[in-house]
Structure 1
Amino acid sequence: MKNNPFIIVLLAVILLFLQRQNIAVAHPLSAAFTNIKISNNVTELTYSIDSLSVIEGIGGDKNEDGELTEKELKPIANRVEEWVEDSLVLEMNDQQQTAELDKLYLEKRADKAVVTLQFKLPGFEDGQTVRLLDGIFTSGNTASSYTNFLTINYDGQISESVIQGKNREWTMLLTANQQEQQSQSASSDSTTQTIPNQHPDSDANHDSWTSFFVLGMNHILTGYDHLLFLLALLIRKQSFKQYAALITAFTLAHSVTLTLSVLGLINLPSNIVEPLIALSICYVALENIFRKEIKFRWIITFLFGLIHGMGFASLLKEMTLPKEALASSLISFNAGIEIVQLAIVLLLLPLLAWFQRSPSYKKGMVAGSILILVMGGFWLIQRLIA
């Protein structure tokens, strides 16, 4: 076993997961939701951010339970307002607009407590450029996971975008539909046009499809529990046909529940879904250790895949996407997940095939599965008592 480099690499990867699990599990994503409704008279901007992010940015969690209550929010309300006003800037033709706070309150969004601030700003007209600059969490551990989901409503036309990583700007040129103006229709429509940012590293102005595709890719890459489940499935020696059945079953299952959850047709609370995801990791690891022969694993993979799909759906459910954009966003988000998942499998299979020919394969597989079991068990306990 000492002479098998695959085992060393495998153990190193799992230990890296263990080292980072306190960050990944405690707060996998800092989620904010911005809704901008633009008209000629007034612009309404609603910004919501999960309460754990507020605690990380401002504090205020007196009982240290990772949640804010109305009682805890009240003393820090002014600091939260200043934090958001200083960090979230809306510009018109490169001129910062003055935001007036209308409301600040705590609410639930898809089982998650969020702090919501409602602002009023001056209106915008056709031909003007709107730019949103987001400076929330520009440094520290949270900066890499911070994601702001934008929904923009201009004269009835709705578009979506995602701000994440270094992509902290969103820009749009408001242009009128000249044909509708000429016909003097009472319900004239407006279209939006994206303007490239000047920052060379920024792609925040990708269209909605690309934004959600990248979001799906990032979501699976930072979903350490989903990745560990996939590794647990693949590490046990199987035929190519069995591997193909596993991947197909997992893909179909989580695609189904991802879609149904976002559409609101099924709704299982996160305090049930998250422990079940951890349980799926433990179960597959135990199978690897104790079962002499694995048959029909695709069935259990399909069943657990249904649970993992509900976990994938949590982000889009929190966004409350408009119906007009739901199909496109859902397809692109799921496509991003599938592309990364397929790439991981294609990279792992040749390495696994080589590893499985090694005399020390069985010992290495059991050792790796034990580590996977330990991590899955830790997550299970943590999520049950959270």
Structure 2
Amino acid sequence: MKRFWFSTLLLLILFNSFFLSSASAHTNNSEGFSNIEVKEKSLDYELKLDLEELGHALEKETEQKELIDNKIVQQYVNAKLKLYADSEAINGTVVKTDIEMIEDRAFAVINLAYNFEHKPEKLVVEYNMFLDDSDPSHANFASIKMNGEQQEKILSFESREIEIGEVSFLQTTKQFIVLGLEHIFTGYDHILFVISLLIGAKTIRHIFTLVTAFTIAHSITLALATFEIILLPSRFVESAIALSIVYIALINIFNKDSKHQPWLAFGFGLIHGFGFAGILSEMKLDTNHMATSLFSFNIGIEIGQLIIVSIAFPIILWIKKITIKPIKWVIPSTSVAILAFGLVWFIQRAF
């Protein structure tokens, strides 16, 4: 009798364990396949994922084909699959989806297209599908073709990256100088801060000391943030940059004869450096050219600043010398406008 109840209890335990594992949406040790081909100005990525595991990751049913047609798939793939072409992040577009049976198991087939301005010298794939949310045991068998070379790798929890190709020193230098130029010319908050400094400058020597102090300061924090020695929340940094604009604009409005001190430019330059580092944090910097990338990016920023100063400062000096009343209001009006922009940016970024 005891043997009967023991056998019955053992059967119940085994049945319960089997039932629970069957009811779970996890497939455990799910597989995936990546076929990547780099062309002249585009990349084709065929991604095959276990359909059941994909449904669990998206918290959706897997019986219907609508699962792989949903826009959520696009968002999930771009969030979990990062592609960097010459360090720049490129988002893919889902162009086709299908379902394929592999060894009696359903797989979602997702065809992604990536477009480049020019053929990249180095490509990095960062793969995080399922690994951090639904199946840490997931493995993806990847094959990538680029420049006549083919590389194969198994992507897993411990190994999530594929690297192929190598960016040359000249390519890195050119790329990051251009990136620095683009960043300063599209960073309107930085431009308005520099113009505010120019308004409070008295001589060419004075503006040279201000720009030098600002440059040294933002170079320090740019390096610290890029090498992840000191990191600050982006909301705090962007809000502080807006406040720096507000502060300098207020001085220019209420104390027209004030002479901005280099320590002021240095102090606010430290904050702006963290802002400059924001764009680099979104990139996959090549560790072999980290110093070159950082230096080149900073050179691009400095060239942009010199262009802004060489254009804006002579105009400001010319306006200050004119005694005609309507023109005399140009600089105060400009400071008020800069103040308004700074306040709007602070409200948008802080709240």
CA contact (8 A) 2:200 2:256 kept: no
Cα RMSD after superposing both structures = 3.7
SS at match of 1:319: coil
SS at match of 2:248: helix
Q: Counterpart of 2:221 in structure 1: which amino acid?
A: T
SS at match of 1:87: strand
User: What per-residue deviation string (whole Å, max 9, x for no partner) do you get for residues 156-191 of structure 1?
Assistant: x65389xxxxxxxxxxxxxxxxxxxxxxxxxxxxxx
Q: 1:270 to 1:378 in 2, by over 3 A?
A: same
Identity of aligned residues (%): 37
Q: TM-score, normalised by structure 2?
A: 0.58
CA contact (8 A) 2:180 2:301 kept: yes
User: What per-residue deviation string (whole Å, max 9, x for no partner) do you get for residues 232-286 of structure 1?
Assistant: 1112351222111111111111111101110111111111100000000000000
Report the counterpart of residue 148 of structure 1 in structure 2. none
Q: Counterpart of 2:167 in structure 1: which amino acid?
A: S
CA contact (8 A) 1:289 1:369 kept: yes
Counterpart mapping for 1:37-186 below 5 A: 76-80=71-75, 83-84=93-94, 85-88=111-114, 103=129, 121-124=142-145, 128=148, 153-154=163-164, 158-159=166-167
Size of the aligned set, in residue pairs, is: 235
Report the counterpart of residue 36 of structure 1 in structure 2. none
Q: Counterpart of 1:159 in structure 2: which amino acid?
A: V
Report the counterpart of residue 349 of structure 2 in structure 1. 383
Counterpart mapping for 1:339-350 below 5 A: 339-350=303-314
| Aligned equivalent of 1:280, options 232, 236, 244 | 244
Report the counterpart of residue 253 of structure 1 in structure 2. 217
Report the counterpart of residue 24 of structure 1 in structure 2. none
CA contact (8 A) 2:237 2:275 kept: yes
SS at match of 2:167: strand
Q: 1:289 to 1:362 in 2, by over 3 A?
A: farther
SS at match of 2:259: coil
Aligned pair 1:232/2:184, yes or no?
Answer: no
2:219 and 2:347 mapped to 1: Cα distance? 27
2:201 and 2:277 mapped to 1: Cα distance? 31
1:240 and 1:152 mapped to 2: Cα distance? 51
Q: 1:119 to 1:252 in 2, by over 3 A?
A: farther
2:212 and 2:130 mapped to 1: Cα distance? 46
Report the counterpart of residue 141 of structure 1 in structure 2. none
CA contact (8 A) 2:202 2:259 kept: no
| Aligned equivalent of 2:259, options 295, 311, 314 | 295
CA contact (8 A) 1:288 1:369 kept: yes
Report the counterpart of residue 265 of structure 1 in structure 2. 229
Q: 1:245 to 1:78 in 2, by over 3 A?
A: same
CA contact (8 A) 1:44 1:120 kept: no
Q: 1:258 to 1:71 in 2, by over 3 A?
A: farther
Report the counterpart of residue 331 of structure 2 in structure 1. 365
Q: 1:106 to 1:310 in 2, by over 3 A?
A: farther
Larger Rg: 2
In structure 2, list runs of 5 or more residues that go unmatched: 1-32, 38-57, 61-66, 78-91, 95-110, 117-124, 134-138, 151-160
SS at match of 2:285: coil
1:78 and 1:160 mapped to 2: Cα distance? 36
Q: 1:105 to 1:382 in 2, by over 3 A?
A: farther
In structure 1, list runs of 5 or more residues that go unmatched: 1-40, 46-69, 91-98, 108-117, 131-150, 162-205
1:129 and 1:87 mapped to 2: Cα distance? 20
1:105 and 1:275 mapped to 2: Cα distance? 34
Q: 1:335 to 1:120 in 2, by over 3 A?
A: farther
1:296 is displaced (CA, Å) by 4.6
1:364 is displaced (CA, Å) by 1.9
1:325 and 1:287 mapped to 2: Cα distance? 42
1:378 and 1:260 mapped to 2: Cα distance? 29
1:305 and 1:214 mapped to 2: Cα distance? 21
User: What per-residue deviation string (whole Å, max 9, x for no partner) do you get for residues 65-104 of structure 1?
Assistant: xxxxx889996333445834443279xxxxxxxx9x9826
1:382 and 1:106 mapped to 2: Cα distance? 32
2:276 and 2:59 mapped to 1: Cα distance? 32
